[in-house]
Amino acid sequence: MIKRKRLIGRRGFLRSTAAALGAVATPQVIPASALGAGGVTPPSERITMGWVGVGGQSGGHLFGTHWTYLPGGYLARPDVQVLGVCDVVPERRESAARRVNEHYAARYGREGYRACTAYFDFIEMFARDDIDAVLLGTAVHWHALMSIMAAEAGKDVYVEKPTAVTLAESRAVARAVARYGRVYQAGTQQRSEYGGVFRRACELVRSGRIGKLERVYANHQGGGFRPIPHASHPPAAIDPAWDRWLGPAPYFPGGVPMDPHRLGFGGINWGQHYFDIVDWGLGPERAGPVEVGPRHFQYADGVVVHAENSPYAFGKSVGPGGPCFVGSDGKIAVGRNGIAADPPGLLDEPLGTNDVRLYYSTSHSGNFLDCVKTRKQPICDAESTHRSVSLMLLGGVAMQLNRTLRWDPIQEEFIDDDQANRLRSYATREPWRI
C-alpha cells in the first residue's frame, strides 16, 4: 500500500503555476498563452504527467525520437503538461527536469519557469494528486509492480514492454487496473502505428480471407524470467540508487552494467511486440493455448503457434515485428515494412460490411491521451496486454523446463505440474510485494 500525501489539487496547481509565472516579473502579469489564448491549450484541459525513468526508451517518449512518431515527444504535445521526472541516476533526472522547464519557459515566454520537479523516489511523485498519468520506462523488473502502485495511487498508466516478467504479476496488473478504474496502455505500439498494416493483417485473418486458420509462425522465440542467485550476505551499506534500481529483483552486487538481460528475462522486450500481434490475429474467442512447448503453443481448436521464423519466402520483405498466418486457403505475413500474401490477390478485395473490424488508432500516444480524457479503453488495455504477454511468458516457462506443458487458460495454471506452476512467479525482495 502506498502512503499517500495530500498535496495541491488541480485548481491549486493552476493557482500556484500562475503565481510562479507572475513572480518572475513585475507587475505580475500571466502570459495569455498560459491561460489558453493564442491557440494554446489552457492548463485546465492539459493532461498532467510524470515520468519514471528518463533514459533510453522513456527519455525518447519524453523528448522525442524516431520511434515516437511525433516530433518532440510528449513534451511537444500542447495537451500535456509534464510536472515530474524520476530516475535513480541524479544526472539524468536533473538534466531531464531542466530540459522540460526550459522548454516550457520558451513556450510561455517566461524565463525562470519551474513547474517540473526531479524525484529520486517515484512513490513521492505518485502521491501528488495534481498528476493525472505516469509513463513508466524503468528497468523491466519494475514494470508490473510500478503499474500496480500507480493504479492504486489513482494514476493512469502508459508502460513500456515487457509489461511483466511473470504470469502472476501480469494478471495482478490487470486486476489492479480494473479495481481502481484506471486507463492503462502498453507500449506495444504496432497496433496503432506503421500505417495500420498490423491491423489490416489481423482483420483479414479474422475475416477468413486465408480460410481456416491452421498455424502461425511468430518469427520470434519465447522468453521468460530465469532467477539469478541471491547474494547470501549483502554488504552492510548498499548504495541507495542501486538498491532502488534493483527494487523487487533478487539482490546482486552493484557496479555491473544495468542490463535487464543480466536478470535473466530473455528476449521478452522485442518478443512482446510479436506475440501481441499473434494474439490480435487469433482473436479473443481463443482464450489461450492448452499446450505449451519450448517452441510452440497449441489451442483447443488445433491451431498451432510456432515460436520460430516462418519458412516461407513470400513474407521476407515485410520486415520485423510481426508473424506469418497460415490458413487452408492462403498465407498472410506482416511486419513494420508492410504486408504480403500468398496468393497476392488476397490483399486486393477490401473488407466488406460483415467482415471483422478491429480497434482503429493511428497514434499510440494520442490514443492513450484520448482515453485519459474520455475514460474509454485504449487499444492495448490491461486485459489484452495480459493475453499477449502471457503467450510469451508461457513459452519462457516451457523453455526453462525444456518440456511440453498442459495449460488451463481459464484458471491460468499448469495442469498437475507443481514445478511449472512455481515458475508463474518469483520471490521478490522486501518490501516490494505484489
pLDDT one-digit tens code per residue, 221-238: 876 655 544 444 455 566
Average of per-residue pLDDT across 67-77? 82
CA atoms of 239 and 236, how far apart (whole Å): 10
Per-residue pLDDT for 27 more than 70?
no
For residue 6, what pLDDT is reported?
35
Average of per-residue pLDDT across 148-168? 96
Residue type (1 letter), 207: S
Grid coordinates of 133:
498519468
Is the bond into 27 cis (omega within 30 degrees of 0)?
A: yes
Grid coordinates of 385:
496486454
Beta bridge partners of 287: none
Identify the weakest region by mean pLDDT among 58-67, 169-178, 196-205. Answer: 58-67
Q: What is the pLDDT of residues 360-393, one digit of tens each?
A: 999 999 999 999 999 999 999 999 999 999 999 9
Average pLDDT, the chain: 86
Chain center to CA of 192: 13
Report the number of secondary-structure helices (H) and strands (E) in the chain.
12, 15
Identify the weakest region by mean pLDDT among 55-69, 132-146, 193-207, 282-296. Answer: 55-69
For residue 38, what pLDDT is reported?
47
> What fold characterizes domain 10-191?
Rossmann fold (3.40.50)
Identify the weakest region by mean pLDDT among 113-117, 246-250, 369-373. Answer: 246-250
Q: What is the pLDDT of residues 250-303, one digit of tens each?
A: 777 665 444 444 444 556 778 899 999 999 999 999 999 999 999 999 999 999
Average of per-residue pLDDT across 342-368? 95
For residue 18, what pLDDT is reported?
42
Torsion of CA 5, 6, 11, 13, to 10 degrees: -40
For residue 132, what pLDDT is reported?
98
Grid coordinates of 282:
487469433
Helical (H) or strand (E) element with 214:
strand 213-217
For residue 40, what pLDDT is reported?
60
Q: Which residue has better confidence, 165 or 150? A: 150
| Structural contact between residues 75 and 63, judged by C-beta atoms closer than 8 angstroms | yes
Burial 90-124, CB ≥16 within 10 A → b, else e: eebbebbbebbbebbbebbebeebbbbbbbeebbb
Average of per-residue pLDDT across 47-65? 90
> What fold characterizes domain 196-347+383-434?
Dihydrodipicolinate Reductase; domain 2 (3.30.360)
The C-alpha angle 67, 73, 77, rounded to 5 degrees, equals: 140
Per-residue pLDDT for 1 more than 70?
no
CA atoms of 147 and 169, how far apart (whole Å): 10
For residue 113, what pLDDT is reported?
85
Q: How confident is the model at residue 195 (pLDDT cuts 50, 70, 90)?
A: very high
Which sign, positive or negative, has the C-alpha torsion 150, 152, 154, 156?
Answer: positive
Domain map of the chain by residue range?
10-191, 196-347+383-434
How far does the chain reach from its first CA to its final CA, in angstroms?
10
Q: Which residue has better confidence, 141 or 100? A: 100
For residue 235, what pLDDT is reported?
55
Identify the weakest region by mean pLDDT among 59-73, 96-110, 196-210. Answer: 59-73
User: Among residues of the chain, what percentage have pLDDT more than 70?
Assistant: 82
